[in-house]
Chains A and B, each alone.
Chain A
Amino acid sequence: MTKTNDQMPSGLQPLHAMPPLRKYVDQLWQRRTYAIRMPLRELRARNMNNVLGLSWFLLNPMLLVAVYYTFFGLIIGTDRGVDNFLTFLASGVFTYSFLQRTMTSASRTVVTNVGLIRAIRFPRALLPITETVEQSLAHIPVVAVLFLVALLTGEPVRLSWVLMMPLVMLQASFALGVGFILARITTNFRDLQNFMPFGFRLVFYMSGVLYSIDAFVADVTIRRLFFLNPFFDNIKLVRFAILGGEFPAWAALGTVISAVVMLPVGFTIFRRGEPYGRA
């Protein structure tokens, strides 16, 4: 005889009661293998379905970089004040894409997993978490491509490249936190999914993905305001890790704070929205 791990004692327990935080987290922890294995299975299955398979995870950001490089670097000339514009651009585009894709797909998980939600009881926070793990795993080869781009454009191998590992984890944490909040809002207000692309577009332009803030924004006070944007901070820090230069202390602070604050805040907001899967 097998039993599920969280079977209740012999007494009667209410089924429709929000488990206390401790128990909710325990229930998530019991399912940690799901959060690892599910993404591996999904990525593999997706690999079998497309002609180009998993390589889309690589091709997509690379094509974006090629397009931006042509128009902004070569034609409009936003490469002002940047030595290695291609690597500068790739760092920004890859990091921004990872953040946006993780937030967007995590926010949809409660809607896209109705099959599972209608069939099995489990803490629903497992879904955005699992999606974030999947996106993070898919981001690993993208980071490898970034190293390659750096090498091909004449950058030396830097010790600071090892920072990419913790940086991606901080990015994932920030993105999951935001994804939790967007997921909660989406369940009550489906239209959010239609607004999100516009919001992300705005953030994209405010994050200095395509141009160097230092070269284009003259006013020091305004330049400082950019550091309030965690997307900008994350990108700035990745550029430091890849390209070297002066350590951006403010960006590092913004990156760490956004990751450490958004995750628990997002988790709490999401959990308050339980139970999901109402009619």
Chain B
Amino acid sequence: MTMQPTDSNGAAISMMVDDVSVVYRVNTEAKLSMGALIKSGFSGRSPDKIQAVKKVSLSIHEGESLGIVGNNGSGKSTLLRVMAGLLPPTVGQVYANSEPMLLGVAAALRPGLSGRRNIEVGLLALAIHPDRVEGLIEEVADFADIGRAINRPLGTYSSGMRARVHFAIATTVRPRILMIDEALGVGDKHFKSKSYARIDELREHAGTIVFVSHSNAEIERVCNRVIWLNEGVILADGPTKEVLDEYAAS
């Protein structure tokens, strides 16, 4: 028996972010002086560090839908990738009660393969049992609803079409924890309402949603809790309306 951590109102904790910091090491162009050039070992670059996320801790519960707002470069995408288990933090740990799924403005998985084949290999990489893959391909293709384009190479898709395929793959496998990084914005009106319905359905089944968006309307539609991230630090954490107002006033 494993213990189920719960909070005061009874919902189980689905994810715990424990003191997470992320430091990127980057090479910036060195000044074009002889001294700088020699110092950089004639590589013409100088190493630099960017602290994108600073000591972030938080808990999210099942059925909760957390929004993250903040200016460009405030560390939202970085934090999301760490929470999804895709980017190892420099310090800290993330605990989850099921495999999270990240939906980003992703690059084409395999640009040379058709949409249908990308769905197939995507599902297989997610360790979906091969017996179920055939049926799921159809379900994903139906939901993405991009017609005959499903048989064209993914590299030829518009960003909206690609987003539809990604969203369809990521949600058809019904993840218990779904993270969305500005990925709804590119869909058209019809697809957006379908996407909201999918998100609601996941949440009703005790799923957890973490949602990054620059649209207040989207955040209000989806989230019941919001954190405001600024320069990698949580400035506010609370009910959607309150935090959005606070952020707007800044």
Residues of A within 8 A of B (CB): 1-17, 27, 30-31, 33-34, 37-38, 41-42, 45-46, 49, 114-122, 126, 275, 277-279
Contacts and interface: CB of A to CB of B under 8 A. Distances in A.
Interface string B83-102: 11111110001111111101
Given A6-B99, A45-B117, A121-B85, A12 B124 contact: no
Contacts of B3: 11
B94 A16 contact: yes
A38 B124 contact: yes
Given A45-B114, A119-B86, 17 more contacts: A4-B126, A11-B2, A11-B3, A12-B16, A13-B95, A15-B94, A16-B85, A16-B89, A37-B120, A38-B124, A42-B110, A45-B117, A115-B110, A116-B125, A121-B86, A279-B24, A279-B25
Contacts of A17: 93
Nearest to A33: B130
Given A15-B96, A277-B86, A122 B136 contact: no
Contacts of A121: 84-86, 99
B97 A10 contact: yes
Nearest to A3: B174
B174 to A, nearest CB: 5
Interface residues of B, number: 62
Contact of B120 (A5, A41, A126): A41
A120 B125 contact: yes
A1 B174 CA distance: 7
B197 interface: no
A14 B99 CA distance: 10
Interface string B165-197: 010000011111000000000000000000000
Contacts of A2: 128, 132, 136, 172-174
Contact of B113 (A16, A31, A42): A42
A119 B81 CA distance: 9
B36 interface: no
Contacts of B112: 42, 45-46, 49
Given A10-B2, A34-B125, A42-B113, A118 B106 contact: yes
A59 B12 CA distance: 61
B98 A5 contact: no
18 contacts: A2-B174, A3-B173, A4-B99, A8-B98, A11-B3, A15-B96, A31-B124, A31-B127, A33-B124, A37-B120, A38-B124, A42-B110, A45-B113, A118-B107, A119-B86, A119-B166, A277-B87, A278-B87
A277 B96 CA distance: 20
B205 interface: yes
A13 to B, nearest CB: 6
B129 interface: yes
